[in-house]
Structure 1
Amino acid sequence: MALQQNDISRYVQTTDFKIHYNEAGEGHPVVLLHGGGPGATGWSNYSPNIEALSKHFRVIAPDMPGWGDSDAVDFATLDHVEAACQLLDALGIEKAAFVGNSMGGHTSLRLAAERPERVSHLITMGAPLRMKPILFGAGGGPTEGLKIMYDTFTDATPEGMRRLVEIMVYDKARFATPELCKLRSQAALKRPEHLRNIASAAPKAPIPIWIDLDKISDITAPALLIHGRDDRVVSFESTLFLAAGIPDSRVHLINRCGHWAQLEHADEFNRQVIDFVTHH
């Protein structure tokens, strides 16, 4: 029987936040950090991955503060890295492998650079960097995908979510299904205060604090940098920049893949993560 979210749903109180998270498996802790789009949660971003990874590791997939069933936050003061460290402390975890998609990938990068004692392995998928033209399109404006993402914070209807999902993936016919769009819409509209908080703080939200690009070369954790060749949210060149700067890094670039490598190529992603964390 496939793993069900109700079976692994948990809550924990940290110093500053009540955080909802999903937990399964035993062994070395692997924390899966979701992206920053409306309707993003630990489960919605990683439902095809949690069960496979939990056969090898202790998998933790939180809803970060400001998303899902976790506390609402003020994006003027939110520090994703501090929130992640508070989660580790509350769960009694000293060091973990961090796997991050998009915003979660950026948080993982900052953790590896600023709190290296908490990160055993660094794995990113489509991690954004605040540099031109990597995150920004022609004329210095946001990329096509980021424009649609921000629009969806004020239109999280199933139709608005369809436009978002279609820009996030390469294979629209397979992944931008009415069922997925409806589920993500329901997840987003369940907590309208999250949508309002991000929309009102944009463009500072959903990432209020950006990594200092000069610190990328200081990252000592082994890094696996995954990116979709067809990503229209964050250009794959950002991952090439990271690979040039992180000493112990390798790149896995996937053709016919958008911003959600862990969903579009779930089996390949799971194999890569299991092998990397097991053997590095």
Structure 2
Amino acid sequence: MTSTSPVLTGESTSRFVQTKRFRIHYHEAGQGHPIVLLHGSGPGATGWSNFRPNIEALSAGHRVLAVDMPGWGESDTQTAETGRDHTATLIDFLDEVGVDRAALVGNSMGGMTAISAAVQHPDRVSHLVTMGAPCPGPNLFSAGNGPSEGLKVLIEAYQEPTAENMKRLVRIMCFDPAMATDELAGLRSQAAAAHPEHLRSFLEGGTSSAAAFFALAGQLGSITAPTMAIHGRDDRVVHFENSLRLTTVVPDSRLVLLNRCGHWAQIEHAAEFNRLVGSFVSAT
């Protein structure tokens, strides 16, 4: 008689932990060396909506934790009083869940947090993986001047979180329109509607640590963690030149540039992403 492992769901993996400043929601599965998945920004972003095609595959050999950062998902919101430092929040989270060192895997805004942690807390970061993440320095979000096409759509969705704008948001994140499913747009819409205070918080202050992140350009060379930057050649939110710059200055680094891929490599190329990350963490 054969047995099969239960299929992971958002409900079965859901957890909460209280840190110094926030009650944090996250998803957890698997055992082994910890991999912490850090989602991007945008209304309705959550650890589950950003990484649901990846959690089960990566948990086959690792302890996987997909976090809702403060101001997103079911975690507490962030205010001027609590502060908006995601890097400090990440370290507090690792302390509470008993993780000394972890592989950090960050998409976009989550990549900013992962890079900051690798610079500021090298003893806590065993591996650094970014996907579609900005890099400190000039041309932060685009190859030209001003906000990128995708960033403009993201801000509009924060200002008017309608079903139509959510659909526009998931479409611009993907190269293949077929990947921008109604289900994915619906997940984002439901999460945004459930916590309007998160949207207000972002519009009021975003993440105040962003300025500190962009000032890290001169310290990237100090990153000691093995680093892999994954980027879509067709990313309309954060241009792939950001990952080129990151791998130019981080000593132990490599770049994976995926053609026919937008801002969400972990969704559009899930099987390849899971293979890349799983083998990278296991081998190094």
TM-score by length of 1: 0.95
**Where does 1:51-130 land on structure 2 (aligned, <5 Å)?**
51-74=56-79, 77-130=83-136
Matches within 5 A, 1:169-184: 169-172=174-177, 174-184=178-188
Is 1:257 matched with 2:280? no
Are positions 1:269 and 2:269 aligned together?
Answer: no
Instruction: Tell me what 2:213 maps to.
Output: 210
Determine if the alignment matches structure 1 residue 9 to structure 2 residue 46: no
* Aligned counterparts of 2:141 and 2:244: Cα–Cα separation in 1: 13
Amino acid at match of 2:53: P
Give CA deviations for 1:139-183 in whole Å, capped at 9, x if unaligned: x311111111111111212111011111111001x1122222122
The whole-number CA distance in structure 1 between the counterparts of 2:126 and 2:111 is 15
- Sort the Cα spacing of 1:190 and 1:209 in 2 relative to 1 into closer, same or farther, 3 A: farther
- What SS does the corresponding residue of 2:175 show, helix, strand or coil? coil
Contact 1:105 1:125 in 2 (8 A): yes
Contact in 2 for aligned 1:36/1:206 (Cα 8 Å): no
2:35 paired with 1:19: no
**How much has 1:197 moved relative to structure 2?**
0.9
Q: Distance in 1 between matches of 2:135 and 2:185?
A: 27
CA RMSD of aligned residues (A): 1.5
Question: What code does the residue aligned with 1:196 have?
Answer: R
**Contact 1:199/1:205 (8 A) holds in 2:** no
Structure 1 residue 133, shift from structure 2 partner: 2.3
Structure 1 Cα separation of the partners of residues 209 and 40 of structure 2:
9
Which runs of 5 or more residues in structure 1 are unaligned?
A: none
Corresponding position of 1:150: 155
User: Which residue of the partner structure matches residue 233 of structure 1?
Assistant: 237
CA 1:63–1:266 in 2, change beyond 3 Å: closer, same or farther? same
Q: Distance in 2 between matches of 1:100 and 1:28?
A: 17
Contact 1:126 1:226 (8 Å CA) reproduced = yes
CA displacement at 1:275 relative to structure 2:
0.6
Percent identity, aligned pairs only? 52
Whole-Å separation in 2 of the counterparts to 1:112 and 1:25: 24
Aligned residue type for 2:109: M
- Residue 153 of structure 1 aligns to a residue in which SS? helix
Q: TM-score normalized by structure 2?
A: 0.94
Over 2 Å off, 4+ runs:
129-134, 204-209
- Which stretches in structure 2 are left out of the alignment for 5+ residues? 1-5
Structure 1 range deviating more: 155-164 or 240-249:
155-164
Query: Corresponding residue for 1:34?
Result: 39
1:84-107 deviation line (CA, Å, top 9, x unaligned): 000000011111000000000110
Cα distance between partner residues in 1 of 2:122 and 2:209: 23
